Structure 1
Amino acid sequence: MNWALARLIAAQICVHGSMAGMRLAAPLLALREGYSVAAVGFLVALFALTQVFLALPAGRFADRHGLKRPMAYSVAVACMGAGLAVVFPTYAVLCVAALMTGAGAGGATIAVQRHAGRAVHDATELKQVFSWLSIGPAVSNFIGPFAAGLAIDHAGTTPGSLEGYRAAFALLALLPLVSWWCVRSTQDLPAAAAASAKDGPPQRAWDLLNDPPFRRLLIVNWLISSCWDVHAFAVPLLGHERGLSAAVIGTIFGAFAIAATVIRVLMPFVAKHLRERGVMAGAMLVTAVLFAVYPMLQSAWAMGLCSVLLGLVLGTGQPMVMSLLHQITPSHRQGEALGLRLMAINASSVLMPLMFGSAGAVIGVSGLFWGVGAAGLGGARLAWRIGGEKKQPGQGPR
């Protein structure tokens, strides 16, 4: 991993970490002020909702302007969102802050991913780069909430005081500025390369869905994301049924997250031996088997082992998806493709928990695991059919 890539990863971590910290601090403050669980759930949903609507415009903007201008706007929006919560720590302003920090994180993610994908020379480098980049969200999901929690507990006169929350919001407002420091000296795309998107007749982002490989990739990506979501949704329910404590359930979650991070750290070193569609198809098949077994497990140790295995196989998904996406989409439309992918994932994150809750009430938690596992079998076939229509990634060194 070179210094330029390390700066990109750090930039992504800081903007995303600001949103992750707000996603912890804002709901906690709302609960402290006496708001209902439904109101808190609405607040949490807003972090993803903005990205559903802004992902495509952000992708087009990145196609036209490269890395630094989208990053500057994303940093400014994230800073202002968290800064508003410092001055006006009310529920309404927290909702606005959720929208703004979510938008900043989404825009920065698209800009960083697009730039990283276009700066490589071949498919092996794509897999290596996106394996490294995929570690960023895991790190930011630790750093942001951890920093916010420390500020809430220790920066005020008493743990959990309003001053502590203000300090946490102030810290999260400053964090994205580090992102700008990381990318400010990065050499951006040449103007001629960005201008090539204007050649030919006008195109709509939805036209990308007419391309069978891209459409299959988007469905497989959605299935992988759904497997993550159903694990996060159903494990607490299973743990409660088994009489496990909250600490044990949290440990099972932690084992999943650690395994997903470990496999992503290892992937760059074996990237040249990996084939994207084979890895994704294998991940879907193994996930289907593990989902079939998971509801029958009774002990915490068995559930923990199954979570580790799920983390290992599902953790391989995003780097392979991102590598293939940059190979099967035109260079001048990769921002749009990334935006369409991010929009689909965030729409799923908003809607799928509602669907899981309704389905779980009808077919039970076991049926939920088995249903999503069966869908994974179809995803394995789709993943295997992706490929063959690839272009050379990137445009050489910048």
Structure 2
Amino acid sequence: MSGGLKPELARLIAAQICVHACMAGTRLAAPLLALKQGYSEAAVGVLLALFALTQVFLALPSGRYADRHGLKRPIGLAVIAATLGAGLAVAFPIFPVLCVAALLTGGATGTASIALQRHVGRAASSPTELKQVFSWLAIGPAVSNFVGPFAAGLMIDNAGFRGAFLLMALLPMFAWYWVRTAQELPPVIRAEGEQHGPTWNLLREPMFRRLLLINWLLSSCWDVHTFVVPVLGHERGISASVIGTILGCFAIAAALVRVAIPLLASQVKESQMLMWAMAATALVFGIYPFMHASLFMGLCSVALGIALGSVQPMIMSTLHQITPESRHGEAVALRIMLINASSVGMPMLFGAAGAVIGISGVFWVVGAAVGAGTHLTRGLKSGRTS
């Protein structure tokens, strides 16, 4: 089949961008306002953690809700929460309210992502189509991570913080415009005798546990790169703009590889792509600390972006094949909960480890862990479970 972007999927991606950009823009504006009001870096760190914290605790309820009610109800609730969160910051731009805004916009983004990933996964008719649709869907966060902060920054400079929060509050309403005409899929009819059980029963499935472990290892590499490169660049006297360019090269490469995957989906297997991504990541992490020139750091960043950017479509395609259809929402929720819990805790661990073994040592330790984990992909098999 063609790997082109279909109109229905394009509308869902636009909806995802609108909700996610609201959170991403608020995540830029809120810390800047807190710093301007005289709050400490520690307080700002807590504020930033709240954007991910809500997604940890709301992921499972959101997944179960999506399994019961489909696409539009969860998206509708996400739109209300995101608009309310950013709107409160317009009315009361004080630190406690900024914390509430972080919780609401972060939770809204997680809820919308779970509903959208479940919906497009169920709509796909083959493993090839699963890889295609999840590659397209994965482009949404990359776009919104640019659009949200860029728009918020422009508004702060030209209309103040309240103007920025107002724009962020309006964005989710456009998400509902894009999703309101989407066709709901028929409810999942469970097989006779199928027991639902608690969400944690999914972890009894060896393939699902293996997939989550692979996903955690590779998502940790994303966090390592984001955390370590600025520190490494600072140690070497590289300017902030060049460090930003190095990280930007990573993001662009990750987005471009997701555009290419739909065209190659029928020619690659998920397990093979994940094995390649883990091996390439381990190699790049091994040589990255030896690259002192910004040009070579940028090349490593591009290589890492290509490797890690290919991961999410493969993970999501496999997840939808190895878990029961009636529990796709819960399975997606467990994955999001794990990633966000890691994003909250891992930077603190990296910082502590860097103080003991050096910042280069963090690269090598994590790279060695990922390299050792490549064997996990060999036993990863696709095929829907009942």
- Give TM class, smaller chain: over 0.9
The Cα offsets for residues 352-382 of structure 1, whole Å up to 9 and x where unpaired, read as 0000001111111111111100111122111
Q: CA deviation at 1:187?
A: 1.1
Contact between 1:122 and 1:392, CA under 8 Å: does it hold in 2?
no
TM-score by length of 2: 0.97
Q: CA deviation at 1:298?
A: 1.2
Matched-pair identity in %: 62
**One-letter amino acid matched to 1:306:** C
**One-letter amino acid matched to 1:44:** L
Aligned to 1:338: 332
Contact between 1:63 and 1:197, CA under 8 Å: does it hold in 2?
no
Q: Which of 48, 51, 56 lines up with 1:52 in the alignment?
A: 56
1:223 and 2:225 are equivalent in the alignment: no
CA–CA separation in structure 1 for the residues paired with 2:313 and 2:277: 12
1:21-40 paired onto structure 2 within 5 Å: 21-40=25-44
**One-letter amino acid matched to 1:112:** L
Aligned to 1:187: 183
Aligned to 1:306: 300
Q: Which of 201, 214, 236 lines up with 2:208 in the alignment?
A: 214
Structure 1, unmatched stretches of 5+, are 156-163, 394-398
Contact between 2:133 and 2:262, CA under 8 Å: does it hold in 1?
yes
Q: CA deviation at 1:391?
A: 1.6
1:165 and 2:165 are equivalent in the alignment: no
1:139 and 2:173 are equivalent in the alignment: no
The Cα offsets for residues 36-90 of structure 1, whole Å up to 9 and x where unpaired, read as 0000000000000000000000000000000001110111111111111111110
CA–CA separation in structure 2 for the residues paired with 1:199 and 1:314: 40
**One-letter amino acid matched to 2:161:** Y
Aligned to 1:204: 198
CA–CA separation in structure 1 for the residues paired with 2:332 and 2:196: 19
Aligned-residue Cα RMSD (Å) equals 1.4
1:41 and 2:45 are equivalent in the alignment: yes
CA–CA separation in structure 2 for the residues paired with 1:391 and 1:15: 31
Residue 35 of structure 1 aligns to a residue whose secondary structure is coil
Residue 20 of structure 1 aligns to a residue whose secondary structure is helix
Aligned to 1:158: none
CA–CA separation in structure 2 for the residues paired with 1:141 and 1:305: 22
**One-letter amino acid matched to 1:133:** L
The Cα offsets for residues 125-176 of structure 1, whole Å up to 9 and x where unpaired, read as 0000000001000000011111111111112xxxxxxxx1111111111100
1:271 and 2:265 are equivalent in the alignment: yes
Aligned to 1:386: 380
Aligned to 2:120: 116
1:350 and 2:353 are equivalent in the alignment: no
CA–CA separation in structure 2 for the residues paired with 1:387 and 1:321: 12
Contact between 1:260 and 1:311, CA under 8 Å: does it hold in 2?
yes
Contact between 2:123 and 2:185, CA under 8 Å: does it hold in 1?
no
Aligned to 1:149: 153
42-51 or 288-297, larger mean C-alpha shift: 288-297
CA–CA separation in structure 2 for the residues paired with 1:249 and 1:190: 48
CA–CA separation in structure 2 for the residues paired with 1:120 and 1:273: 17
CA–CA separation in structure 1 for the residues paired with 2:252 and 2:186: 39
1:97 and 2:93 are equivalent in the alignment: no
Please identify runs of 4+ aligned residues in structure 1 that moved more than 2 A: 195-202
**One-letter amino acid matched to 1:69:** R
Q: Which of 240, 250, 255 lines up with 2:244 in the alignment?
A: 250
Q: Could you say if the C-alpha distance between residues 149 and 217 of structure 1 is closer, same or farther in structure 2, counting changes exceeding 3 Å?
A: same
CA–CA separation in structure 2 for the residues paired with 1:190 and 1:134: 24
CA–CA separation in structure 2 for the residues paired with 1:145 and 1:212: 40
The Cα offsets for residues 318-358 of structure 1, whole Å up to 9 and x where unpaired, read as 11001000000000000000000000000000000000001
CA–CA separation in structure 2 for the residues paired with 1:392 and 1:201: 13
**One-letter amino acid matched to 2:291:** L
**One-letter amino acid matched to 2:225:** H
CA–CA separation in structure 2 for the residues paired with 1:347 and 1:198: 35
How many residue pairs align between the two structures? 382
Aligned to 1:175: 171
**One-letter amino acid matched to 1:391:** R
CA–CA separation in structure 1 for the residues paired with 2:283 and 2:380: 22
Residue 237 of structure 2 aligns to a residue whose secondary structure is coil
Structure 2, unmatched stretches of 5+, are none
Q: CA deviation at 1:216?
A: 0.5
